[in-house]
Amino acid sequence: MTQVNTLIDQVVFAWQELQKKSPLIQCITNQVASNYAANVLLACGASPAMIDNPYEAESFTRIVGALSINLGTPSSEQMQAMKISAATAHQESIPWVLDPVGYSPVLKWRSDMVDTLLTFMPSVIRGNASEISTLAGEQSLSKGVDSTLNSEDVYKHAKVLLKSSQCVAISGPSDFILSQESDQVIEIKGGSILQPRITATGCSLGALIAAYCAVAPINTATIAAHVHFAIAGKLAYEKAPTLGQFNVAFMDELFTLNAEKIKQHIDIQIH
């Protein structure tokens, strides 16, 4: 319990730092997620900037607290910006998050770019079980960009990705977080069955991880972002179990999270 209590204290402190510092977060994300991700960051206390033009990428990345890159619907210009911003973040030791949406042999263009981006050592790689499994070299069948695997089945194989990143986060009914810091795996429970049915919740989680990385150590930041989402999803579902109402309630719960709610509702295990 001592380790869990320490983790809870670290999550609370990270949340407090996010509110206090309101870091500027650059998001190069997909057209489906852009507006939603920006609203999630604002609700959680960060300041989003959706700068994805290659002519602005380098100069802007130099001034941000963290960078989030999402391969959901990449355009040619976005792809250029991703490479420039990732290289700049790596050079300037700015934390950045890679969300390899749709990584698979079927979508070779974007998958080749993900392989290139990995050379710039993302602070965190996050994705659903299918994406992480494929990225780690395991064969999996993915229905579009939705996961067809369970996160629990994948995390043991995902450790190879820690050669390219400080932290790997696998989202699902339970979220699993691996880090270079420790051989232990952190499991975070909570959330709602409705979250996967709202466009851009996973993409927004990547952006929120980046926001926390701007104010806390990478491992703590990744855990804190998942806890933030898990508690908000759980409480929103209790109030609003239908999809449209849940979507509004979820944003409200992201906004109204506080230290007391974290301590009361966090559901975290160490493996």
Three-state DSSP at 264 gives helix
**Residue pair 73/44 in contact by the 8 Å Cβ criterion:** no
**Residue pair 187/175 in contact by the 8 Å Cβ criterion:** yes
Q: Is 81 annotated as a binding residue?
A: no
Query: What angle, rounded to 10 degrees, do the helices at 218-239 and 201-213 form?
Result: 140
- Cα Rg, the chain, nearest whole Å: 17
Residues 48, 241: Cα–Cα separation, whole Å: 29
How far is the CA of 216 from the CAs of 45, 50, 126, 219, in angstroms? 14, 22, 17, 8
Residues 236, 104: Cα–Cα separation, whole Å: 33
Q: Is 221 annotated as a binding residue?
A: no
Query: What angle, rounded to 10 degrees, do the helices at 243-256 and 218-239 form?
Result: 130
Residues 207, 141: Cα–Cα separation, whole Å: 26
50 is written with which tokens?
A: 């959706």
Amino acid making up residue 74: P
Residue 19 gets the label, from left (phi > 0), alpha (psi -120 to 50) or beta, of alpha
130 is written with which tokens?
A: 């299918």
Provide the 10 A C-beta neighbour count for residue 260.
9
Q: Is 171 annotated as a binding residue?
A: yes
Residues within the annotated binding site for ATP? Answer: 126, 171
Residues within the annotated binding site for substrate? Answer: 50, 200
Residues within the annotated binding site? Answer: 50, 126, 171, 200
